[in-house]
Amino acid sequence: MSGAETRALRLPGLRFAFGTLSVLRVRVARWDREAGGRAMIAAPLVGLVLGALAGGLGALVCWRGGPLLGAVAAVAALAGLTRGLHLDGLADVADGLGSGKPAEEALRIMKQSDIGPFGVLSLVLLMLGQIAALSGQFAHSEGRGALAVLTAAVAGRCALGWGCLRSVPAARPGGLGAMVAATVPLPAALAATLLSAAGLALLGTHPRYALALTLGQLAAAALLRRCLRRFGGITGDVLGALVETAALAALLVLALGP
């Protein structure tokens, strides 16, 4: 296969990734399972771009207004750059898991537009945890805070590949979850994670960032296992919850580490 043909196959995946996972204006040329699977593999690149933008803003605000404001700005920027997509997914999954209802009823609750008490509590705790962890990193230096934001953003998007492994079914037909479920080969998910971890370790000149990304994937895997048992598969909301869980876990590792 020629280089041009390879690029032609990969480009729709990148467009799919940026077009669905960010507010960046990208025309999605193809909307099919092949492009969706490639998008989930390329998702860490979306995290790299969004994390750089949010981390840069956080560093600038920290320089002028202090570490707490820098952390708030970075978290707000990431939410804005994703239209709150992953936060909404986390809240819906929390409501579904917390409902105690059978799988079909829990999935129906997750599809509703309103947010229940479990969702609200999960969002509040998540945002507080992210801001607290980032505030400590920005207190060390603007650069360390920005790198923590970048690590969290990439770690969150790495979790998407693992959530869409070929062994993971969709919980229901239709929607983004069904489009990308069971589309990612295990070697591709592993390669994307290893490359991301190596890149962060080199960029941060310290293994803590690779460790944070790795432990973030383990936290997301625990949530994924719970969702598979509870719902029978993934949905778009489950994928969003995996992103936020991996990101928060990565930040906690950085906050509790040296």
Sequence spans of domains, the chain: 44-256
The whole-chain average pLDDT of the chain stands at 92
Q: Which pLDDT belongs to residue 10? A: 54
Residue 228 has pLDDT above 60, yes or no: yes
Beta bridge partners of 184: 165
255 neighbors 133 (Cβ within 8 angstroms): yes
Q: Which pLDDT belongs to residue 25? A: 82
Binned at pLDDT 50, 70 and 90, residue 5 comes out as: very low
Segment 229-247 shows an average pLDDT of 96
Between CA 176 and CA 32 the distance in angstroms is 10
Helices (H), ranges, 82-141: 85-98, 103-111, 117-140
Q: What are 20-38's pLDDT values in tens digits?
A: 999 988 877 787 899 899 9
Q: What are 148-200's pLDDT values in tens digits?
A: 999 999 999 999 999 999 999 999 887 888 999 999 999 999 999 999 999 99
Between CA 214 and CA 10 the distance in angstroms is 26
Q: What are 86-109's pLDDT values in tens digits?
A: 999 999 999 999 988 888 899 999
Binned at pLDDT 50, 70 and 90, residue 219 comes out as: very high
Between CA 94 and CA 115 the distance in angstroms is 9
Q: Which pLDDT belongs to residue 253? A: 97
Segment 189-212 shows an average pLDDT of 94
Beta bridge partners of 165: 184
Q: What are 123-140's pLDDT values in tens digits?
A: 999 999 999 999 999 999
Q: Which pLDDT belongs to residue 9? A: 43
Task: Please give the C-alpha separations between residue 144 and each of 157, 190, 223, in angstroms, as whole numbers.
Answer: 20, 26, 28
Segment 233-251 shows an average pLDDT of 97
Q: Which pLDDT belongs to residue 1? A: 36
Binned at pLDDT 50, 70 and 90, residue 2 comes out as: very low
Between CA 188 and CA 76 the distance in angstroms is 31
